[in-house]
Amino acid sequence: MNAPVTIAPELLTQLTQIVGENRIKTDADSLENWGKDHTKHFDPNPSVIVFPSSTEQVQAIVKLANQFNVAITPSGGRTGLSAGAVAANGEIVISFDKMNQILEFYPADRMVRIQAGVVTEQLQNYAEEQGMYYPVDFASAGSSQMGGNIGTNAGGIKVIKYGMTRNWVLGLTVVTGKGDVLRLNKGMIKNATGYAMQHLFIGGEGTLGLVTEAEIKLERAPHDLQVLVLGVPDFDAIMPVLHAFQSKIDLTAFEFFGELAMQKVLDRGHVQRPFETECPFYVLLEFEAPYEPIMDAAMEIFEHCMEQGWVLDGVMSQSLEQVQSLWRLREDISETIAPFTPYKNDISVLITHVPAFIKEIDAIVESNYPDFEICWFGHIGDGNLHLNILKPENLSKDEFFAKCQVVNKYVFETVKKYDGSISAEHGVGMTKKPYLDYTRSAEEIEYMKALKKVFDPNGVMNPGKLFDL
């Protein structure tokens, strides 16, 4: 643990004047809680936690940070997995917990204006109340905040049909590193007036400025969702199954996970094995079936996959309760393996390359981690794989992470070989920063650094994330 950082009394006084005494925290427990995310690689060490309630207050805090030359780290639901929200060096943490209002609904535009601290599930529930749907979904929806989702361009389990967070952002209000307030795109679908600057802040991890409000597009709600869980004999069978279903049915999700992931979830006792056959890997696919011919087509494809040997066993949901239960087999994985201090890789390639890519990564992992438990799962329908290595009890966290980082180089060299991404949906933060050049060219990184200097000339916005200047 780093030595505690003391905040200058004058700065603390001025921050208190902006947000009020009850919106400032400097006690050790609060600094620990709000100064970190879900990563365990870095110890938090902020100087103060501030809870603004408006764009104007965020702007005033950013201007103070520039005046006192103190860095800022944004904090949302703190569910990130790349240390993008870890304040390790005495930063002011701006928590968006109090900026959690849904501000306005535009029925004709199918759009809602929200503050950055709105929780994903809160937005999903609000959309449902309006007879609409917000489709970006993942296991942390009950605690992740929309500002953080925007900052990392979060993906999740429905990307194969609905895309990433970026696809649903129609406008942003941001406070730049200079302390300027920009209203970008203002919710318009069509706006051909030069640079679409809102996209710089989507996935920018708070390094250019802070998102305070967003205009978010909504969709019609899906009807009669059905879920199939299929057991497959090996990696090679997964892509033919995907192609078989996609050729005739519009899928809303196509997920995969290994037997180890299944077993870890089953060990908790909250759900049961979907069928008796134990398989090396499983796929979960979801689709809308409001009409009988769609169900008939799904059964025909399932039978075809069985005949081809691509599927060993399977089950289709028969009720909404079973839909939810089958989804838990996939959605409970991250929470279930968390006590094992997993070392996570969130990687992606073109779907075309997935079979060859998986074979190479699997060989690397098998040869270098013969004694470690390897937990595979991911959104394979969009080319995104989650490789989780579970810590043995006899190793300390530091020893374990050191062993994992040795092999990172081989994993990311393979990612580079296939023109993939070292971080598909969790951002770069600090954990993936040393490997950014495996996905981005030197020229790209220089342009990114130049943009950083334009929006944040004094370097106060979430420094040390993405890259170092």
Query: Could you tell me if 8 and 69 are in contact, meaning their C-beta atoms sit under 8 angstroms apart?
Result: no
pLDDT for the residue numbered 359: 87
What spatial distance separates the first Cα and last Cα of the chain, rounded to whole Å? 25
pTM of the full structure: 0.93
Quick one: CA dihedral 159, 428, 111, 134, positive or negative?
A: positive
- Provide the strand spans (E) within 169-307: 169-176, 181-184, 209-217, 225-232, 251-258, 281-288
Domain 9-95 in CATH 1.10.357.10? The answer is: no
* Residues 208/99, Cβ–Cβ less than 8 Å: no
Nearest to 251 by CA among 286, 212, 227: 286
Contact in structure between 346 and 383 (CB atoms under 8 Å): no
Per the listing, tokens 């342009």 go with 447
- Cα 468 from chain centre: 22
Q: Are 117 and 76 in contact (CB under 8 A)?
A: yes
Separation of CA 29 from chain center: 26
What are the residue ranges spanned by the domains of the chain? 9-95, 102-217, 225-336
Q: Spell out the residues 6+ positions from residue 103 whose beta carbon is closer than 8 angstroms to its own.
A: 113, 114, 115, 213
> Which CATH number does the domain 102-217 belong to among 3.40.190.90, 3.30.465.10, 3.40.225.10, 3.40.50.920?
3.30.465.10
Amino acid identity of residue 395, one-letter, is: L
pLDDT of residue 180: 98
- At 384 the three-state DSSP class reads strand
Q: CB–CB of 117/98 below 8 Å? A: yes
> What SS3 class is residue 258?
strand
Angle between helices 55-68 and 9-19 (to 10 degrees): 170
- pLDDT tens digits in sequence order for the chain, 469 residues long: 566 778 999 999 999 999 999 999 999 999 999 999 988 778 999 999 999 999 999 999 999 999 999 999 999 999 988 999 999 999 999 999 999 999 999 999 999 999 999 999 999 999 999 999 999 998 889 999 999 999 999 998 999 999 999 999 999 999 999 999 999 999 999 999 999 999 999 999 999 999 999 999 999 999 999 999 999 999 889 999 999 999 999 999 999 999 999 999 999 988 999 999 999 999 999 999 999 999 999 999 999 999 999 999 999 999 999 999 999 999 999 889 989 988 888 999 999 898 899 889 888 988 888 888 889 899 989 999 999 999 999 899 889 988 888 888 899 999 999 999 999 998 999 999 999 999 999 999 999 999 999 999 999 999 999 999 9
β-bridge partners, 421: 348
Phi, psi of 391 (to 5 degrees): -75, 125
Residue 74 host element (H or E) = strand 72-75
List the Cα angle 431/429/89 in 5-degree steps: 90
pLDDT recorded at residue 403: 87
| Reported CATH class of domain 225-336 | alpha beta
**From CA 397, how far away is CA 394, in angstroms rounded?**
10
Q: Which residue type is seen at 304?
A: H
CA distance 198 to 185: 7
- Number of neighbouring beta carbons within 10 Å of residue 158: 21
In whole angstroms, give the CA distance from residue 160 to residue 156. 9
What's the DSSP call for residue 27? Answer: S
Cα separation, 316 vs 323, whole angstroms: 9
Task: Please tell me the predicted confidence (pLDDT) of residue 2.
Answer: 63
Question: Is the CA virtual torsion 55, 57, 62, 63 positive or negative?
Answer: positive
Work out the number of other CB atoms within 10 angstroms of the CB of residue 101.
15
